[in-house]
Structure formats: structure tokens, C-alpha cells
């Protein structure tokens, strides 16, 4: 299949430079790795280098998720990203200046970050959306699956969990050192996090990430490699990558004059999900403390997104979002074909749980109060949270 057919004509035009990267460095991936080529093999030092800073780079990556999330609003887009294959183009000049494009058969959706301003250019919809300040809590998007971003998020959430060395491997023509983090939280669903990175300067560039389920937590319907934790349920890796900053012009969206231009705040993006007059979230839920959320712009997160909260630590966190009753009822109806299970302990209420090997989703409501709970934790954690929140409420 030709490059133009795979990426679409628009992606071919705007990504001509990246196309050269795609063809480079893929023919030697089966060659043996020379001893010592990936460094001294110290996983603790490698983790520290990754967290110290990701160098500027440009590349193309492929992310594959096998979670099997249902395509029900409002989690349809996130479910697709975590349950299919996504092609990504990454251009990073600095931690707060970058561009990540999701490449589709009909074009691309590009996310641009410049300091405290975020812009999303949707070629298919011919719409440029400017979001300021960036949302402190949101659903997953394609940029979260970029290898370096995903690696730093996961390693940053597990700084004290056990880490061991993995055999080096070739990724996009580069020899990369490997490490494995074994999350310590017994109620978390992630059993292992594997990262391969290439040392660059004082930091390191993550080029591949794999996340597998914790054995004994996988629901029925998955093959034995997934159940045992041998096969990853989420994997992302560069097919081509080159260190060095992209040209400045590549990090600025250039929509045509006919494009619709929209300005939004984080609360605008979640308005369709949040319930009316959401109550302040409790300080502790399902035995887990409420985590402090980062300040976005000049406002604390609880002012930008009232009622939204994150609980727990590490990769065993879960998020609470107030949801309108219509949203909850829609998810409940849509979950019937996705193996949704009723949650007990809610007299006079409605609740359902959808479980995958790496993510659990629970929605519940009683009268006009509804909540959505989601996170990489065992179903019992979110079921207990739902009962606490709406089981006896008025």
C-alpha cells in the first residue's frame, strides 16, 4: 500500500519531511545488539535520566491498544484510542512547546502546545480550537500515546516502585536500553511497565513503552498471553525518530481562512459530562486520599473543574467526575453490549461497571445526582466509591 493511501493526501503533503524518517532505520531491527551498546544496564540510572528530561526530537510512532472499551458517549474517542491502532507524528522542541498529530485516513488532528496555550487543529472538521489554560484533567487523546510522554507519565507516577533491567532492543534503528517497573499497588491493574530509551546528553529519549495487566485481574474473553501478563495491552513505539528540535514553523498551526475558530476553557470541554451543581468531592474515597491537582493558568483545578477529583497515588489512581443523569443513563444503555455489570448496594439508584484488563469504568446515579469513576484499578475499588458517593445520598 502506498504512503499516500495509508496516510491520506493531506498527511502526505504536510508530512513530507516525516515521510523520509518513516523509511529510515527500520531494516536493521532484527540485527543483534552489540554488548554495551545501550549503556551500563543500570535501570535506576536509566529511569533517572528519563525523568531528568526528554531531549527535543521528531518522529513517527504507532500505538496499539487492546482494552476493548465500548464506543459509548462521552468516552467514545478515548475508547477508540485505547482499543485500536493509532498513528502519531511527534515534534517536540521543549516540554512546553510541541506538536503531536494523530494521522487518519482522511487527514490529521493536531494538538499544539505553546506555554500555557493549547490549540487543536482538526483538518477534517476544518476547525481550530484554542484552549487556555490547558485542562488539568481530561480524557486521553493521541498525544498521550507518544512514547516519550507516556513513558514520563508512567515513570513519574511510580518513582519508588521496583525497577529491573530489560535486555536492550533496536527501536527505529536505534539501540535502546530497557527497564521494567512492577507497580506495587495490589489494587492497580497494571502488572508491568516496560520502557526502552536511548541516552541523549544528560537525559534519555524513550522510544518504546509496553503496559501489561496484572495476572489474576483480567476478566474473561482474553487470550492466555494477556491473562498471564506476557502480552501488552497498550504498546507504543517509534517507527522512526531523530533527536533535534523541529523547525519553529512546524509548531504553529496554519489553518485556511475558511476554518472555524473556537476559543474554549477546560470547563467548556467537559460541560456535556458534568452534572448540575456538582457537590464538592470528599477528601477521601474508597480508602484513598484525594490528590492535589496542578494549577492551570491562574486558577486552581477545583475552580476550573468543580466537582472533579483524583484519588490515590501512582498508576492506581482514579478520577471522579460529576455526570448528568442523561449521560449516566446513556452509558448504562450502551454498556449492555460491552459486558456491563450492575453494581449492587444502590437502592433507588442505577449503576453499572465496565471492566477491561487495564481500565475500569463505573457510572452511577441516584435521583438527579450522577457520577463517573474511571481508573486503572480493580472494579471493587470503584464500586465502593460509587456506593459511598450516591448509595445513601438524597
User: Whole-angstrom Cα distance, residue 239 to residue 88?
Assistant: 10
Quick check: 162 and 191 in contact, CB under 8 A?
no
Domain that holds residue 369: 268-390
Count Cα neighbours of 57 within 13 Å in the Cβ-side half-sphere: 28
Domain boundary among 190, 225, 251: 251
**Residue 179 DSSP one-character state:** E
184 domain residue, yes or no: yes
User: Are 283 and 229 in a shared domain?
Assistant: no
CA angle 110, 116, 121 (to 5 degrees): 15
Q: What is the pLDDT of residue 21?
A: 26
* pLDDT, tens digit (0-9, with 9 covering 90-100), for 99-122: 999 998 888 999 999 988 999 999
* pLDDT, tens digit (0-9, with 9 covering 90-100), for 57-98: 999 999 998 876 665 555 556 667 777 899 999 999 999 999
Quick check: 226 and 214 in contact, CB under 8 A?
no
Identify the weakest region by mean pLDDT among 93-102, 163-172, 244-253, 334-343.
334-343
User: Are 228 and 298 in a shared domain?
Assistant: no
User: Are 213 and 306 in a shared domain?
Assistant: no
Residue with cell 496542578: 294
User: Are 217 and 294 in a shared domain?
Assistant: no
* pLDDT, tens digit (0-9, with 9 covering 90-100), for 121-146: 999 899 999 988 777 777 778 889 99
197 domain residue, yes or no: yes
Provide the CATH number for the domain around residue 157: 2.50.20.10
User: Are 120 and 54 in a shared domain?
Assistant: yes
Quick check: 165 and 43 in contact, CB under 8 A?
yes
User: Are 280 and 204 in a shared domain?
Assistant: no
260 domain residue, yes or no: no
User: Could you give the number of structural domains in the chain?
Assistant: 2
User: Are 237 and 277 in a shared domain?
Assistant: no
* pLDDT, tens digit (0-9, with 9 covering 90-100), for 226-259: 878 888 989 999 999 999 999 999 999 999 999 9
Quick check: 176 and 208 in contact, CB under 8 A?
yes
Pair type for strands 369-375 and 190-200: unpaired
256 domain residue, yes or no: no
User: Are 51 and 132 in a shared domain?
Assistant: yes
259 domain residue, yes or no: no
User: Are 275 and 183 in a shared domain?
Assistant: no
86 domain residue, yes or no: yes
- Report which of 71, 92, 89 is spatially closest to residue 80, judged by C-alpha positions: 71
User: Whole-angstrom Cα distance, residue 197 to residue 96?
Assistant: 21
Residue with cell 526528554: 54
**Residue 251 DSSP one-character state:** G
- Lookup: cell for 128: 481550530
- Lookup: cell for 205: 529519549
Domain boundary among 251, 280, 298: 251
Amino acid at each position: 500500500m502506498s504512503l499516500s493511501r495509508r496516510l491520506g493526501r493531506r498527511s502526505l503533503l504536510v508530512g513530507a519531511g516525516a515521510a523520509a524518517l518513516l523509511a529510515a532505520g527500520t531494516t536493521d531491527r532484527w540485527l543483534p545488539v552489540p554488548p554495551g551498546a545501550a549503556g551500563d544496564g543500570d535501570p535506576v540510572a536509566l529511569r533517572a535520566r528519563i525523568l531528568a528530561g526528554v531531549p527535543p526530537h521528531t518522529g513517527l510512532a504507532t500505538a496499539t491498544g487492546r482494552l476493548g472499551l465500548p464506543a459509548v458517549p462521552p468516552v467514545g474517542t478515548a475508547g477508540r484510542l485505547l482499543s485500536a491502532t493509532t498513528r502519531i507524528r511527534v515534534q517536540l522542541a521543549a516540554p512546553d512547546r510541541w506538536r503531536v498529530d494523530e494521522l487518519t485516513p482522511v487527514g490529521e488532528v493536531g494538538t499544539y502546545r505553546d506555554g500555557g496555550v493549547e490549540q487543536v487543529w482538526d483538518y477534517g472538521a476544518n476547525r481550530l480550537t484554542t484552549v487556555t489554560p490547558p485542562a488539568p484533567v481530561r480524557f486521553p487523546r493521541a498525544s498521550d500515546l507518544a512514547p516519550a510522554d507516556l513513558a514520563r507519565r508512567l515513570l513519574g507516577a511510580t518513582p519508588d516502585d521496583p525497577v529491573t533491567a530489560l535486555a536492550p532492543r533496536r527501536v527505529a534503528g536505534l539501540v535502546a536500553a530497557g527497564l521494567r517497573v512492577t507497580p506495587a499497588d495490589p489494587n492497580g491493574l497494571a502488572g508491568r511497565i516496560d520502557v526502552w530509551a536511548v541516552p541523549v546528553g544528560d537525559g534519555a529519549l524513550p522510544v518504546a513503552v509496553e503496559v501489561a495487566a496484572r495476572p489474576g485481574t483480567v476478566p474473561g474473553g482474553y487470550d492466555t498471553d494477556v491473562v498471564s501478563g506476557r502480552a501488552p495491552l497498550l504498546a507504543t513505539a517509534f517507527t522512526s525518530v531523530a533527536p533535534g528540535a523541529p523547525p519553529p514553523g512546524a509548531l504553529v498551526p496554519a489553518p485556511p481562512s475558511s476554518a472555524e475558530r473556537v476559543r474554549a476553557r477546560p470547563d467548556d470541554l467537559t460541560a456535556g459530562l458534568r452534572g448540575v451543581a456538582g457537590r464538592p468531592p470528599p477528601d477521601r474515597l474508597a480508602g484513598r486520599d484525594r490528590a492535589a491537582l496542578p494549577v492551570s493558568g491562574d486558577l486552581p483545578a477545583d475552580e476550573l473543574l468543580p466537582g472533579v477529583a483524583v484519588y490515590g497515588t501512582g498508576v492506581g489512581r482514579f478520577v471522579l467526575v460529576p455526570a448528568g443523569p442523561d449521560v449516566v443513563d446513556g452509558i448504562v444503555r450502551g454498556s449492555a453490549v460491552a459486558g456491563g455489570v450492575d453494581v449492587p448496594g444502590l437502592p433507588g439508584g442505577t449503576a453499572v461497571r465496565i471492566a477491561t484488563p487495564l481500565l475500569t469504568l463505573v457510572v452511577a446515579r441516584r435521583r438527579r445526582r450522577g457520577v463517573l469513576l474511571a481508573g486503572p484499578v480493580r472494579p471493587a475499588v470503584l464500586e465502593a466509591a460509587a456506593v459511598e458517593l450516591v448509595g445513601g445520598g438524597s
